[in-house]
Amino acid sequence: MKKRALSLLLILVLVISTLYARPVNAGQSKGIEEYREVLASVESSGELPAKFDLRDYGLVTPKRNQGKYGTCWAFATIAALESNALVKGYGEYNLSERYLAWCAKHIIDTDNSNIAGEGISTSAAEWYNGGSASIAGYSLMNGLGIGLESEYPYKDIIHDIYSDCIGKEVFRCSRVSSVSRNDETAIKYAVMKYGAAVTSIRSASDTSKIFSNRNHSYYMSEDWYRNNKSKLSGGHVLVIIGWDDYYSRTNFATPAPKDGAWIVKNSGGLNYSYISYCNYIDPTYDQLVYSFEVAPVETYDWLYTYDGGIGLTEVKSTNDIAISFKANSDETLTGVAVKLEGKTQATIKVYNNTASVESINENNCIHTETVSLTENGYQTLQFSNGVNVSANDDIFVTVHFFNPVTYYIDNEWRSGTITSHASANPNETFIKKNNGSWEDLVNYGKANACIKVLARNGHNRRPLTLNNSHLTISNSKEATIDLSWKEVEGATTYEIYRKAEGEWKYTLLKIVDSTTLKYSDTKLTLGKKYTYK
């Protein structure tokens, strides 16, 4: 894979703008390099530390209060997204809980996908009360961007957003990973790798035996749950930011069976609390813990997808799925997003001039790539190079999993006041049967496979890097920001841009030649935030 940086000028004046911007508060160090060293050590050794706290590295944004509304799920999801932005080097952002809460529970026909009339709606007048991290995740993966608090302030939570939803997003979501709430090791790794993970606990009218006000700790035993169901009063969603294996079992209102606790960030009442590793998992609640990954808005201009809802049905032991579509314009396909359970490798093939499953022909295969899938959940698999297609081309994309996996298809679904709207037409998505033949999922009703294809406008566009930013920013002196970046193959010059807090556009600071990989910005004001690219 060729290396890329933030904003570079190539020969023939070909501009690649990846917009990997990172706000930095002059005079404040984030400690991200120390964090990356710890993560690298864990990934190489496989040994997790007994205690870890994202706050130690400046990778947790300030606590925010949900007030009297049932939006804890949106606050926890946003907190996880903000921490992931810090972990990836994009900097500190104040993202909008209201934007996520409203958009995730209303049908939004975004201008970046072919989903129309699909999504989630609620018949409840108070749409802002109730939700889940899974609802948030599916909405984000369906093309919903992530807006800023300054654009959609929470103080206006009860007011609708409507037309203001489109065009002001600062991030997209490229991954929603999930692990079992019983898997301590997997949760720890998710917290460390992605910067926080979202979980939930049960609320109760009497918490004297499950919550310690003195120690800010929570532990509900299975016995308490079974004997006090009448006292349960809903749930609360929190974000895990660390853990402590040595946290004493006696620090809970009722002693837990063993030491150890999750460190959680709250959106109501206390800022931070501890939840016992042994906390009983209510079988009626979500059994998964979620982590999220942000990506630049420019990751894709268009999302070819048909699975717009959350009415998911599992399909066991599947090896092959496919999606068919007609290209909107001259564009570059840059990757595929899929939702599954199971770790495996997969081969992705892109066919052109393939209007139906019957016309698949290896002579029409224009791209083949093998990728690894290492986590459960919805994840984006990028191509090593973009695949050019032209307007009105008939495209067919297949994904073959080396090992059988549990895959998901989307269909119509209703639960309480929530409706997940879905639709399906012939020749959209397919699944391969045991006899080797492709079956159109329209045969199952309003059903489509959870598969999406990412596209960028124009030919010869590169897939954007979705992992850590190629731009590194440090703050070794007061009112001075030091920038450094990785060398980009083929670059002749690098352009350094800056935008100060309150400004709407970037200012060109300097153009340097290809042998220069660093720059120091000294004309700053202490306490002011700056964004660079």
Q: What is the per-residue DSSP string for 477-495? A: ETTEEEEEE---TTEEEEE
Q: What is the pairing mode between strands 288-296 and 171-180?
A: antiparallel
The set of residues, in sequence order, having a beta carbon less than 8 Å from that of 337 and lying 6+ positions away, is 141, 174, 378, 379, 380, 381, 451, 452, 453, 454
> In this structure, what token pair is assigned to residue 83?
């921490």
User: What does DSSP say about strands 217-218 and 272-276: parallel, antiparallel, or unpaired?
Assistant: parallel
pLDDT string in tens for the chain (533-residue length): 333 333 322 222 222 223 333 444 443 444 788 898 999 999 999 999 999 999 999 999 998 999 999 999 999 999 999 999 999 988 889 999 999 998 888 887 777 888 878 888 888 777 888 889 999 998 999 998 999 998 888 887 777 776 555 667 899 999 999 999 999 999 999 999 999 999 999 989 999 999 999 999 999 999 999 999 999 988 899 999 999 999 999 999 999 999 999 999 999 877 889 999 999 988 888 889 999 999 999 899 999 999 988 878 888 889 999 999 999 999 999 999 999 998 999 999 999 999 888 889 999 999 999 999 999 999 999 999 999 999 999 999 999 999 999 988 888 888 888 888 888 999 999 999 888 899 999 998 888 999 999 999 999 998 987 776 667 776 667 778 888 887 776 788 889 988 887 776 778 999 999 888 889 898 888 877 777 87
Of 200, 138, 134, nearest in space to 173 by CA: 138
- To the nearest 10 degrees (0 to 180), the angle between helices 72-87 and 32-45 is 90
239-to-144, 199, 376, 499 alpha-carbon distances in Å: 21, 6, 19, 31
The confidence score (pLDDT) of residue 48 equals: 97
The 3-state DSSP class for residue 46 equals coil
Q: Which helix (H) or strand (E) holds 72?
A: helix 72-87
Dist. CA 412–CA 203, nearest whole Å: 30
pTM for this structure? Answer: 0.85
Per-residue confidence (pLDDT) for residue 165, from 0 to 100: 59
* Angle (nearest 5°) at CA 188 between 182 and 193: 135
Check the CA dihedral 422-424-429-433 and report its sign.
positive
Q: What is the largest CA-CA distance in the chain?
A: 73
Q: Are 228 and 204 in contact (CB under 8 A)?
A: yes
In the block, tokens 């050019």 appear at 388
The token duo for 46 is 């496989």
Phi, psi angle pair for 318, to nearest 5°:
-105, 140
Structure tokens at 191: 């917290």
Q: Closest Cα partner for 354 from 314, 389, 317? A: 389
Cβ distance 217 to 274 under 8 Å? yes
- State how far the Cα of 69 lies from the Cα of 127, in Å rounded to an integer: 10
Parallel, antiparallel, or unpaired for β 211-212 and 365-373? unpaired
CB proximity list for 339: less than 8 A, separation 6 or greater = 141, 312, 377, 378, 379, 407, 408, 450, 451
The C-alpha atoms of residue 292 and residue 76 are separated, in whole angstroms, by: 11
Rounded distance between C-alpha atoms, residue 533 and residue 528, angstroms: 17
Q: How far is 195 from 111, CA to CA, in rounded Å?
A: 30
pLDDT reported for residue 345: 95
How far is the C-alpha of 445 from the C-alpha of 454, rounded, in Å? 26
Contact 337, 307 (CB under 8 A): no
**Both structure tokens of 115:** 């989903």
pLDDT attached to residue 14: 22
